[in-house]
Structure 1
């Protein structure tokens, strides 16, 4: 193992650590939804807005982040992002009101929004292209430790020490990881000095972004990400635990266990599907199969059918594996655009899912509130099966959009096929 390889692995490991925290913040509201509803006395729509602020700012930041990592490099923005996320997490943990919590959650989303694209840029610059999907899958596997922590561990910890203490600790950890990124991450493989960083040229950057957006081959991957990731972020990020408690009658801990299985299946699936895709040198068959299974599974949750807890847990694990299919969309978008625009192309694809998550979480809550019959449970609103079906129909429609778009994704055979004429290949 060469020194250069060791350095690249260490770099990726540090950023992956920050990515774990990003995933934790993304899905944490699901584990403490009941606590937040009681603490701030919110409606379902208001709770959806609180959870979705992360996704709003994350969405807005995807293209700027892609531009920044392609011009300034990931090192600086990782440190700045960590400082902002630290401030947001501390503010959220100490928030006396819903309005202050909204500001804190927004800052958290702003701070962690740079991590994923910076990580993809490091993989693209420091590692062989043929391993891109595999390494992305490994990082997703590691990152998903954060989502697993947002399930049962967060639920139990919040009950033991309070949810506020958890977010104060997360803020301190965020700052520590930012410092580690500053120490170990390097932007350029050739070791050029910071004085030789590429300068920000607005005309060139906007031209590059326009090139990615005008490329018709970019959009099927983006829409697949939008539908599948949007459904995942919206439901797993907030509504899954309350759904299982109120519709299926599970305890909070059992419901959180379902969520952890979804996250665990997603983590394993990202690694397994990325590796499978790289080995068979095909993207599209894997993407089509998984996204269509994911869409079909929503028929089960729409039915509200009673089932043994073991079966519902197995279905959540399967849903996690199927959800992981959308992780291939980053490679699909990158491989149909110029290599120098890898940050922009992956960020454009990534933006769709976060935009959908931002819109679907409050929309789900709004539809739920329309069907609320006035019931209360543990100081928070209780919703009947028909109200839940209305919200789930919104999520299912998003999943179907993603499954349909996957059929139009261009097969790249795991290599860059950009031709330079405005098309993927």
Structure 2
């Protein structure tokens, strides 16, 4: 085996394991939609309580993004993702065994805490092990693989619930996280040099500043903020709907069962994954980030308006609408590449974490806000002890998502084009390259 072949095998093994941990994170994001009826019944939750339980993942995930970025830059992805998978395993098992909302929220908290390191760790790994010209494509591939996990959290999970209880299904996912924690610790290395290969990128020379100074520089960089706002509004809105409220919406308004409703969500998530990969590839191909982001934001706004205003029903119309719901926002993956290109390379992990905070803050705030709007308009109707909401109630929440998408379009128009290259390269890295 040649050295080059051994390097590619080792690089691929690390990527696959970290991507698997990220897929589990995506599974947890959308699983409450398929579990909504069970959680409403078994935990005695209303719309606001269910929205808060689902968003608990996003609260802690959001709060952990900056620490995860610091951990990825300072300690490397191996420690962060392996340790995080261990915590996620414990949280999933606690959630599966919870008799009421208190322990369910505690389990969901630990799940969000644990999986929060997966995305930033994987993106940092990519930055260390792969050439820079592939970063947009890799960002799209990461979204593709992550959304495979989210697809499993929709239709396939609903199918599994025909044979297993929701508690048994979650316990199985907890065991998967435990196995991944062990494998990542054994096989993943932060840089090629730690595995006995030459580093893909020359390490930064000279002492680094304090982490809080580097974080301040990222947070004060005006070119980073539009990317965070876009992810807050566009992707945060997408996960608010597909990750929780789409299945109850299809059930209450159109009378669909959980399996049928989850199939539409699976379609949206699958197309979100595939088109995210295509968006990253297109952005690398044309050497531009901003036009791709603007098109995604505009299309997302159009889809929300179509969902509210057009007279669609389950069948081909619903399939088209949910397909467009997944296609429209996915190209926002370019925000990660553009954020990385807007800061010094040694702070790439912090920049990715900073903009990713926007995404999860969006879902953390919008999921319960959607639920609060539902509960505010609720007329008290229940079915088998589960609240039933009207089409007009859901439209209020959809108008909220349309409004934040309009803000996202404004932010996309305010982006600075990076032309798929660094705006702020390290002086040391420039010297090393010459």
Q: Which residue pairs with 2:105 in the alignment?
A: 102
1:121 partnered with 2:120: no
Which residue pairs with 2:55 in the alignment? Answer: 52
Report the Cα distance in structure 1 between the residues aligned to 2:172 and 2:425, rounded to whole angstroms: 49
Between the aligned partners of 2:18 and 2:401, the Cα distance in structure 1 is 31
Please say if 1:268 is aligned against 2:274: yes
Q: How many positions carry a matched residue from both structures?
A: 416
Show the counterpart of 1:399.
405
1:149 and 2:142 correspond? no
Shift of 1:138: 1.3
**Under a length normalisation based on structure 2, what TM-score does the superposition of the two structures give?**
0.92
1:190 alignment partner in structure 2: 193
CA distance in 1, matches of 2:394, 2:86: 38
Matched residue SS, 1:350: helix
What is the root-mean-square deviation in Å for CA atoms of aligned residues?
A: 1.8
Question: In the TM superposition, what is the alpha-carbon distance from 1:203 to its structure 2 partner?
Answer: 6.0
Aligned to 1:303: 309
Moved over 3 A (4+): none
In structure 1, distance between residues paired with 2:325 and 2:410:
17
Distance 1:54 1:104, change over 3 A: same
Q: Paired residue for 1:383?
A: 389
Deviation at residue 290 of structure 1 after TM alignment:
1.5
Deviations 1:306-340 (CA, angstroms, capped at 9, x unpaired): 43511111221122111212211111111010011
Contact 1:304 1:385 in 2 (8 A): no
Structure 1 SS opposite 2:352: helix
Out of 195, 201, 219, the position equivalent to 1:213 is 219
- Give yes or no for contact 1:248–1:306 (8 Å, CA) kept in 2: no
Residues 390-399 or 372-381, more deviating: 390-399
Match of 1:237 among 243, 248, 260: 243
For the pair 1:39 / 2:42, whether they are aligned, the reply is yes
Matches within 5 A, 1:303-322: 303=309, 305-322=311-328
Q: In structure 1, what is the equivalent of residue 16 of structure 2?
A: 13
The DSSP-based 3-state class of the residue aligned with 1:159 is: coil
CA offsets per residue over residues 161-219 of structure 1, 9 Å max, x none? 110001101111001011111011101222289xxx99xx9961011011111111111
The CA distance in 2 between the partners of 1:308 and 1:17, in whole Å, is 33
Counterpart secondary structure, 2:16: helix
Aligned partners of 1:362 and 1:319: how far apart in 2?
20
Aligned position for 2:432: none
- 1:62 corresponds to: 65
Q: Unaligned 5+ residue runs, structure 2?
A: 197-202, 428-434
The equivalent of 2:142 in structure 1 is 139
Tell me what 1:356 maps to.
362
1:85 to 81, 84, 88: 88
Distance 1:420 1:128, change over 3 A: closer
Query: Contact 2:11–2:129 at 8 Å: present in 1 too?
Result: yes
For the residues of structure 2 that align with 1:157 and 1:209, how far apart are their CA atoms?
A: 43
TM-score normalized with structure 1 length: 0.94
The structure 2 residue matched to 1:204, chosen from 176, 201, 210, is 210
